[in-house]
Each structure stands twice: as structure tokens, then as C-alpha cells.
Homo-oligomer: A and B are copies of this chain.
Amino acid sequence: MARKNAFYAQSGGVTAVINASACGVIETARQHKDKIGKVYAGRNGIIGALTEDLIDTSKDSAQAIAALRYTPSGAFGSCRFKLKGLEENRIQYERLIEVFKAHNIGYFFYNGGGDSADTCLKVSQLADKMGYPIQAIHVPKTVDNDLPITDCCPGFGSVAKYIAVSVREASFDVASMAKTSTKVFVAEVMGRHAGWIAAAGGLASDKNCELPIVILFPEIPFNKEQFLAKVDGMVKQYGYCSVVVSEGVKGEDGKFLSDQGLRDAFGHAQLGGVAPVVANIVREALGYKYHWAVADYLQRAARHIASRTDVDQAYALGKAAVELALKGQNAVMPAIVRVSGKPYKWKIGVAQLKEVANVEKMMPRDFITKDGFGITEKCRAYLAPLIKGEDYPPFKDGLPQYVRLKNAAVPRKLGEFKV
């Protein structure tokens, strides 16, 4: 039993490229069969480990695994589930060890964001604290781009590209309609705490294609008067404008702007987005006709317009995770290091998990213009390379041909466990 098997799982909100990381992990592991046996995937993240619901990825062909590179979503299922501390819930850790032992698992690859880095860090301590030898490597992923140390996070570049492209396209549309109809278009984007995705809306406008865009960042408290003056100025100058609003924008009272206490005719509470709220503010104060969109899952699932840079990095980080494991590392995360901006060059570095877990990277203030409604040149220089390149999936009869794996279950050896 010198050769150990690997466990791989996906965690948190999925992205257009998390499967590209899975592809990197599995393909690289398959190239080192002398050291790594099988790659078992957790069905629905860490829950699959706790419940011994493992997927035998060796049942899928090289072709199917290669197709993960261009398939959005989490091929093995993800979960929103955070392990408690060892002291609080020792029984979960004992169960993990029991499952790892039963299936000869010596490598743990966890693909997720900040919460998942924390889970991965806890698993990495099993060797020290409970005497079970395991190497835990975190593979970064989050559309929010809020992990520290790594220059950027896989998943973000593709959402950024989708938002930049979509806001450019919608702005062209509004410009056409503005004379007799819509003058303000509001697009709501993800990013509850950090405004990275909202910032990407600023890329829609550049020196070759100037467009009037107003951005509302979660980092900047919403000031109604200043916002209305900005929108009105844009409409007076250009005839129209687009507003990109982060779902996480808060008022000066610290409350989410989306939380307007909406009630229907029967008094039932209604959960709305922030886009219609912002659109109504414009209508009430300025009287401009508007349209609004909420991209929601469409933005993070949009593999059809993924960034090639993002796909390449997602794959490379999966590959690097396996290589770090083979070098005997534990409690680390491969990270993107920006070598140069122009021309854009990057390489893979290594971050210590204890410096990653539970740390959120916000937009620096100097990435946001002084008035709070746009991105600076510094921000543009940071963002621009991340959306570079296209990486279209194969299409048949007009539709992308995404893979669905067999996801064959590994026979169980243990009793049930409730999570």
C-alpha cells in the first residue's frame, strides 16, 4: 500500500473553469501512476468524503476527462459545507480518517474559495493532530477573486470577460434606443463583499471604444445624490448610460441596497435584486426610461465566452497541486504569480494555507476612481490581461457539447454517517 490514492472535491459556488482545474488534477495524477493510484472524487464536495460517497474517476476515459477542460459547473457536485474546528467536532475528523484509511487515500485536493481553504487547512492538520498521514493541497477557485496571495482566482477571469463583453453589447443596444426609449441600462453582477466583478464592467469601455459606464462597488457606500448627478451627467453628455451594480452595494446606513423591505399586494415579503432598486431610483428622480438585467448564474456558468487566460490558469493550478503533492508538500495552495503586466506573463507560486484561509482580498481604494464610480488605470492594467483570449467549447447543432461523466460510485466499505 505504498502507492496512495487521491481524493479531489469541489466546493462552494461553481465556475466556468473549476472543471478545468479538475482536468489538471486528474490528467496529471494519471501521468504519475507509480505514485498516485486512483483519483477518487467526492460527490458533492467534502460531504462525499464524510458519507463515503466517492466517485471513481478512473472509470471515465481520457477523452471524457479532457472534455472537463471546456465544461462549466462542478462535474462531481459541489457543496456549501464548512468543517468545524477539530475541538468542536472531532467525530467528523475521525470519520474522514476512517474513510481515507478504508480507501487508502494519502492526497487531499480541495478546489474552492476562502471557506474551502479553511476546510483544507483543517484536513492538512490531521497528520500532526491525529496521526493520519495525509497531504492536503488547496486548489484556488472563486469568481469573487477575493483570495489573498494569488494574483487572481480561477473563475474570475471568465466572469470578468462575460461582464465586460455583455456590458459593451448592452451599451451599444441602449445607445441605439436612447433617442425615443431606454436611456439607462442597469446590470446587476455578483460580488457580495468585493467589487472585482463590478470593476470588470469598466473594461467594456476603453480608448478604442469609449462608453458611458457608472459602477456601484460594494466597497463604496451608496450616495444617492452623487449617483443621480453622475447618471444625469452621463445621459446629458452621451444620451444614455449603463450602470453596473454589485449585488453587495450598501447604503450609508450599512444595509444592503437590495434590502428594500419589498412587499406584494398581500403584504408578503419579496426578495428582489439590487438592479430594480437602482433602476427605480433613476426613474423616480430623473424620469429616464430604463431597462435592467440580473445576470446571476448566467455570468459564472458562461463557459461559451470564457477567458483563455482563465482556463489556462485553472488547468495549470490543478496540475501544480498534484506536482506539489508529489514533492511532499502539505497545507499549501498553488497560486498565480504575475511576472509582468505588459506583456502579461505569469507563473505558478506556492502559498501557505494558513495565510489564505478566511482572508478576503478587497479592491484597493486606488483601483476605484476618486468619485467612486469607475476604475482607475491601475485597476485596468490589473484586470485587462485576465480576460485575454477566447477558448470556445465545441458546438454541435448550435449548442455547446459539455461532458457529463459517469460518476461511478466506489463500493462502500464502511457504515453510514450522518452529516
Residues of A within 8 A of B (CB): 10, 13-14, 16, 44-45, 47, 71-75, 77-81, 161, 164-166, 168-170, 172-182, 185, 187, 203-204, 206, 208-209, 260-265, 268, 270-273, 275-277, 279-280, 283-284, 291-298, 300-305, 307, 309, 384, 387-390, 392, 395-402, 404
B399 adjacent to A172 (CB under 8 Å): no
A304 adjacent to B261 (CB under 8 Å): no
**Set of chain B residues within 8 Å of A75, measured between Cβ atoms:** 176
**Set of chain B residues within 8 Å of A73, measured between Cβ atoms:** 169, 172-173, 175-176
Please provide the 8 A-B residue pairs with the shortest distance between their CB atoms, ordered closest to farther.
A387-B398, A261-B265, A73-B172, A74-B176, A293-B296, A169-B301, A44-B179, A173-B301
Q: How far is the CA of A181 from the CA of B47 in the complex (A)?
A: 13
**CB of A211, distance to nearest CB on chain B (Å):** 10
**CB of A13, distance to nearest CB on chain B (Å):** 7
Q: Which among B14, B44, B166, B294 is the interface contact of A292 at CB below 8 angstroms?
A: B294
6 contacting pairs across A/B (C-beta < 8 A):
A77-B176, A79-B181, A161-B398, A270-B277, A295-B298, A304-B305
**CB of A352, distance to nearest CB on chain B (Å):** 28
Asked if A80 meets B262 with Cβ closer than 8 Å, knowing A203-B399, A398-B387, the reply is no
A47 adjacent to B292 (CB under 8 Å): no
Asked if A270 meets B261 with Cβ closer than 8 Å, knowing A291-B296, A298-B169, A302-B169, the reply is no
**Set of chain B residues within 8 Å of A45, measured between Cβ atoms:** 180
**CB of A206, distance to nearest CB on chain B (Å):** 7
Q: How far is the CA of A297 from the CA of B74 in the complex (A)?
A: 28
Q: Which among B13, B179, B208 is the interface contact of A177 at CB below 8 angstroms?
A: B13
Q: How far is the CA of A283 from the CA of B388 in the complex (A)?
A: 39
B261 adjacent to A262 (CB under 8 Å): no
**Set of chain B residues within 8 Å of A392, measured between Cβ atoms:** 390, 392
**CB of A174, distance to nearest CB on chain B (Å):** 7
A81 adjacent to B305 (CB under 8 Å): no
Q: Which among B161, B173, B180, B305 is the interface contact of A72 at CB below 8 angstroms?
A: B173
Q: How far is the CA of A283 from the CA of B404 in the complex (A)?
A: 29
Q: A176, A187, A264: which has the most chain B beta carbons within 10 Å?
A: A176
B80 adjacent to A180 (CB under 8 Å): yes
**Nearest B-chain residue to A48, judged by Cβ:** B179
Asked if A276 meets B271 with Cβ closer than 8 Å, knowing A265-B260, A302-B169, the reply is yes
Q: How far is the CA of A165 from the CA of B283 in the complex (A)?
A: 32
**Nearest B-chain residue to A182, judged by Cβ:** B297
**Nearest B-chain residue to A160, judged by Cβ:** B398
**CB of A396, distance to nearest CB on chain B (Å):** 8
Q: How far is the CA of A263 from the CA of B42 in the complex (A)?
A: 45
A166 adjacent to B302 (CB under 8 Å): yes
Asked if A279 meets B284 with Cβ closer than 8 Å, knowing A176-B74, A265-B260, the reply is no
A305 adjacent to B305 (CB under 8 Å): yes
**Set of chain B residues within 8 Å of A206, measured between Cβ atoms:** 397, 399
**Nearest B-chain residue to A181, judged by Cβ:** B80
Q: How far is the CA of A234 from the CA of B307 in the complex (A)?
A: 33
**Set of chain B residues within 8 Å of A295, measured between Cβ atoms:** 293, 295, 298
**Set of chain B residues within 8 Å of A272, measured between Cβ atoms:** 262, 270, 272, 276
B402 adjacent to A398 (CB under 8 Å): no
Q: How far is the CA of A404 from the CA of B172 in the complex (A)?
A: 9
B263 adjacent to A72 (CB under 8 Å): no
**CB of A43, distance to nearest CB on chain B (Å):** 8
Asked if A262 meets B268 with Cβ closer than 8 Å, knowing A169-B302, A293-B295, A297-B170, the reply is no
**Set of chain B residues within 8 Å of A293, measured between Cβ atoms:** 293-298
**Set of chain B residues within 8 Å of A165, measured between Cβ atoms:** 304, 399-400
